[in-house]
Amino acid sequence: MIIKNLTCIECPMGCQIQASIENEKCVDVKGNGCPRGKIYAESEVVCPMRIVTSTVKTDNGKMLPVKTSMPIKKAEIFEVMEKINQIKAKTPVRIGDVLKENIADGVNLIATSNIN
């Protein structure tokens, strides 16, 4: 059995969690202060996921903040960032507008600000 120490990132408390791993599966979680910490630890030791936030250029020269609509595999972040860096958004843009469908495994890239 492997023990992995984690700092939970699900809330500001930052609980120190110990996840026990056996046969590439999380079999026990200790130290979490809430149910979200257990879910985080189980996912983090098997397949870490992250929401990617960044900016894209717009046709009027402004930078538009964006994010993925759901978490993506941590191992795919650099590949997704390469795709994001190729995007030039056409204004006007509204919060929630999809700028790129299926940027990774069914996850869309969405605007997080309004730009005229």
Number of residues assigned to the chain:
116
Which residues on adjacent β-strands are paired with residue 65?
A: 55
Q: Is 30 exposed, middle or buried (0-12, 13-18, 19+ CB in 10 A)?
A: middle
18 φ/ψ angles, rounded to the nearest 5 degrees: -115, 120
pLDDT of residue 49: 93
- pTM for this prediction: 0.81
Judge contact between 11 and 31, C-beta under 8 A: no
Domains located in the chain, CATH noted:
2-46 (no CATH), 53-111 (3.10.530.10)
Per-residue pLDDT reduced to its tens digit, 26-79: 999 999 999 999 999 999 999 999 999 999 999 999 999 999 999 999 999 999
